[in-house]
Amino acid sequence: MRRCLLPHGAVGPVMTAAAWSEGSFQSEQVPTRGSSPGTPKPPPSSCPGSLECLGRLVESLSARFQRLEVEHAALRGCLEELGLLSLEAVDVRVHKTNFAAARHAHPCSWEATLTDVLMTRETRELMLQTARCAGPLAARTLGASCRSSAGAVELALAGLGNLAPRALYVCGGRDGQRCLNSVERLPPSPREG
């Protein structure tokens, strides 16, 4: 059986069709001097770029990745059980890190943020109309998802109450014999009149 070098310097067998059919495949990994199993290194130039060697490399990396996933899940579980960390806190940190990396990779030269646009005197009407068209639930969702926009959303929601009439209007209708062309204004509660 031929051997190929694995990424972290270990020597492993190359799986051949004959070895597979015979069931004589045995995995051996012997770290070389100066390498540690935790630090992958690119295969040296002496490793032929054969498909067998590359397949073994993929298998090795896949197994290491699966071990790391299991260890990661166990560590998160232990930290949560001890009350030192919540799973949500880890997810938030991962999201913030990924978002910062995306912003760094794709810088933006905008001069104003969404909050700036929604809060300025000239464009405050924009937030009011956005809240009016999208509805209070969608506006509250924006306020909950972005702390800096929460103030603009609350101002817009307060302004929505002033825009909506506080009465029910009934226009036209039919009384059974003729069409009505009148308008009735009804208060929202019986106490108002």
As a whole number, mean pLDDT of residues 169-179 equals: 85
Tell which wins on pLDDT, 104 or 40.
104
Instruction: Please state the pTM of the whole predicted model.
Output: 0.38
Say how far apart CA 104 and CA 193 lie, in whole Å. 60
Task: For residue 60, count other CB atoms closer than 10 A to its CB.
Answer: 19
Q: How many residues does the chain have?
A: 193
Banded pLDDT at 27 (limits 50, 70, 90)? very low
Q: Is the pLDDT of residue 174 over 90?
A: no
Say how far apart CA 167 and CA 182 lie, in whole Å. 16
* pLDDT mean across residues, the chain: 75
Q: And the tokens for 65? A: 């990745």
Give the 3-state DSSP-derived string for the chain, with helices as H, strands as E and coil as C: CCEEECCCCCEEECCCHHHHHHCCCCCCCECCCCCCCCCCCCCCCCCCCCHHHHHHHHHHHHHHHHHHHHHHHHHHHHHHHCCCCCHHHHHHHHHHHHHHHHHHHCCCCCCCCHHHHHHCCCCHHHHHHHHHHHCHHHHHHHHHHCHHHHHHHHHHHHHHHHHCCCCEEEEEEECCCCEEEEEEEECCCCCCC
Task: For residue 118, count other CB atoms closer than 10 A to its CB.
Answer: 24
In terms of Cα–Cα distance, which of 44, 35, 32, 37 is closest to 60?
Answer: 37
pLDDT in tens, 97-123: 999 999 999 998 888 877 777 777 666
Q: Are 20 and 37 in contact (CB under 8 A)?
A: no
Percent of the chain predicted with pLDDT > 70:
68
